[in-house]
Amino acid sequence: MAEWLKDAVFYEIYPQSFYDTNGDGIGDFEGIISKLDYIKDLGCNAIWMNPCFDSPFKDAGYDVRDYRKAAERYGSNEDLYRLFDEAHKRGMHVILDLVAGHTSEEHEWFKRSCLDEKNEYSDRYIWTDFWLSSAPGHLWIGGECERNGTYMLNFFKCQPALNYGFHEPKAAWQQGMDDPGPTATREAMTDVMRFWLSHGADGFRVDMADSLVKDDDEKKSSTCETWRRMFSVIRKEFPEAAFVSEWGNPGLAIGSAGFDMDFLLDHAGRGYKTLMRDEEGGKDRSYFKKDAGGDIRRFLTDYLKCLEETEGKGYISLISCNHDTPRAKATLTDEELKLAYAFIFTMPGVPFLYYGDEIGMRYIAGLKTKEGGYTRTGTRTPMQWSEGKNKGFSDADVDMLYLPVDASEGAPSVEKQEKDADSLLNTLKAVLRLRHEHKELRAEGGFEVICDGADSPFVYGREGLILAVNPSSKNLAADTGRVLKEKIFSIGSASAEGGRIVMGAGSFAVYRQA
């Protein structure tokens, strides 16, 4: 496992919306390079960049046309290599977004696969053997190619599924994971990883990582085996490369497939969703929503199970948000976000901060879909750097912008929040500084639940540190059973005497244990 992950805090960048330096209304690699010092000063020492490979952008780059070519709208391959170099000079790391389960229908592999004549790409994708054939549980497209068959989709219509085989082939056209087609696909994807790692990338976040082998069993055993095989090759060559999965099941992704990290996502019924986005049934019961009646135990039940399954194997990754998730500002105020972020970034594992969340950027509802974004589009609007034109994102005319900038009254900006010592931005900087300064708060520090009652603050231990949070509007107290020696950080009011801690309304605190 990559040693650098132990103190890593990631900053997720949606490149088309981050910073435009050439005036075309779309963010670019040069924009990211120019903001590396900002990201590092924020307290993030690693970057996850959303898809930046050549693409027709029917799904915001998650429809790859050429895995080895940077998208021209962001810059050239050489510009991307320079981004890696500039990050490394600052002690930072960069991982790219790898779409392993499908390509664009415009990818050369797929064009060759569509031909009627048998060739080396015929089995790179999943095809039936007759133009009227299909199989239940999947989406199929026919009538668009000369080949006498239908092909499987992995998600949108523009995303034909790559062939990693079927868990238990049943039809003559279905291949097992050891057949030539799936074997060639694994080798091709390993070559893609090798290409970018050899040019300076530090790893990959893998999109839809659990979607490879079709009709897999409940434990995704064949998909896990597929990842283990690819990792067994690439990790020997690049032992410091890091891999994080979009899976949402750390026990499988880390414990069985061999990923270093797995995200906890806001999927229905999962504990992470109860922290900031628990709006099921039309009522917000999020734990960090003041007086919403949230219960931290709904998070802990799920989280502790995941923590146990992954102990010593890899890291759970909590997120502030991501490109698929409504921004937390949609439900929480800045004061509530301060407590949520203090919690997320002092928990075990490797956390991820979505660009703009550090200033409380808003979710912009009702935007017309852009590049397959649909309701997600409101989370992908341009970064708000200043109070100037287009909030400092671009010098382009408004009608050229990739998406409209939040022009509402009170829209936050980096420029404005940097001047306010009590801003969300400066509070988050202090939290991240605390994490880096105290090894107990990094990825591998232990975790212990001390108090989780409905009428007490949530109190948890990270080795020699005791942390407490109270998102309610009333004072709450707890007997920790420890002797609290020194308060080293707080948001709001907190006091302790002996082992008893009193947390004021809307507060967070870190104490050193005697």
Q: Are residues 351 and 464 in the same domain?
A: no
> Helices 334-344 and 424-437, interaxial angle, to 10°?
10
Residue 183 lies in a domain: no
Residue 420 lies in a domain: yes
Tell me which residue has tokens 């301060």: 338
Residue 223 lies in a domain: no
Phi first, then psi: give them for residue 15, nearest 5 degrees: -60, -35
Dist. CA 342–CA 511, nearest whole Å: 14
Q: Are residues 280 and 424 in the same domain?
A: yes
- Split into its structural domains, the chain has a count of 3
Q: Are residues 430 and 486 in the same domain?
A: no
Q: Give me the pLDDT at residue 268, please.
A: 87
Residues 167 and 213: beta-carbon distance below 8 Å: yes
Dist. CA 74–CA 52, nearest whole Å: 7
Task: Determine the 3-state secondary structure of 125 from DSSP.
Answer: strand
Q: Give me the pLDDT at residue 128, please.
A: 98
Q: Are residues 92 and 109 in the same domain?
A: no
Q: Are residues 414 and 466 in the same domain?
A: no
Residue 360 lies in a domain: yes
Dist. CA 495–CA 509, nearest whole Å: 9
Q: Give me the pLDDT at residue 69, please.
A: 98
Q: Are residues 149 and 271 in the same domain?
A: no
* Residue 283 CB coordination number (10 Å): 9
Confidence (pTM):
0.98
Choosing from 437, 461, 479, the residue where a domain stops is 437
Phi first, then psi: give them for residue 38, nearest 5 degrees: -60, -45
Q: For residue 445, give Cα distances in angstroms to 15, 174, 511.
A: 32, 46, 15
Q: Give me the pLDDT at residue 66, please.
A: 98
Range of the domain at 110: 102-161
Residue 224 lies in a domain: no
**CATH code, 492:** 2.60.40.1180
**CATH code, 43:** 3.20.20.80
Q: Are residues 471 and 363 in the same domain?
A: no
Q: Give me the pLDDT at residue 281, please.
A: 74
Residue 248 lies in a domain: no
Residue 120 lies in a domain: yes
**CATH code, 136:** 3.90.400.10
Q: Give me the pLDDT at residue 439, please.
A: 97
Burial class (CB in 10 A: 0-12, 13-18, 19+), 89: exposed
302, two tokens: 């799920």
Task: Determine the 3-state secondary structure of 203 from DSSP.
Answer: strand
Q: Are residues 408 and 332 in the same domain?
A: yes
Residues 6 or more apart in contact with residue 198 via CB below 8 angstroms? none
Q: Are residues 425 and 476 in the same domain?
A: no
Residue 200 lies in a domain: no
Find the largest Cα–Cα distance for the chain. 79
Tens digits of pLDDT across the chain (514 residues): 999 999 999 999 999 999 999 999 999 999 999 999 999 999 999 999 999 999 999 999 999 999 999 999 999 999 999 999 999 999 999 999 999 999 999 999 999 999 999 999 999 999 999 999 999 999 999 999 999 999 999 999 999 999 999 999 999 999 999 999 999 999 999 999 999 999 999 999 999 999 999 999 999 999 999 999 999 999 999 999 999 999 999 999 999 999 999 999 999 889 999 999 998 777 899 999 999 999 999 999 999 999 999 999 999 999 999 999 999 999 999 999 999 999 999 999 999 999 999 999 999 999 999 999 999 999 999 999 999 999 999 999 999 999 999 989 999 999 999 999 999 999 999 999 999 999 999 999 899 999 998 789 999 999 999 999 999 999 999 999 999 999 999 999 999 999 999 999 999 999 999 8
Dist. CA 390–CA 407, nearest whole Å: 8
Q: Are residues 360 and 468 in the same domain?
A: no
Choosing from 111, 141, 161, the residue where a domain stops is 161
Q: Are residues 281 and 343 in the same domain?
A: yes
Dist. CA 360–CA 510, nearest whole Å: 23
Instruction: Specify the DSSP element, H or E, that contains 476.
Output: strand 476-479
Residues 6 or more apart in contact with residue 481 via CB below 8 angstroms? 450, 499
Q: Give me the pLDDT at residue 279, please.
A: 82
Residues 6 or more apart in contact with residue 497 via CB below 8 angstroms? none
Q: For residue 509, give Cα distances in angstroms to 378, 459, 481, 486, 496.
A: 33, 9, 17, 11, 10
Q: Are residues 65 and 119 in the same domain?
A: no
Choosing from 161, 189, 205, the residue where a domain stops is 161
Rounded to the nearest 10°, the torsion over CA 425, 426, 432, 434 is -160
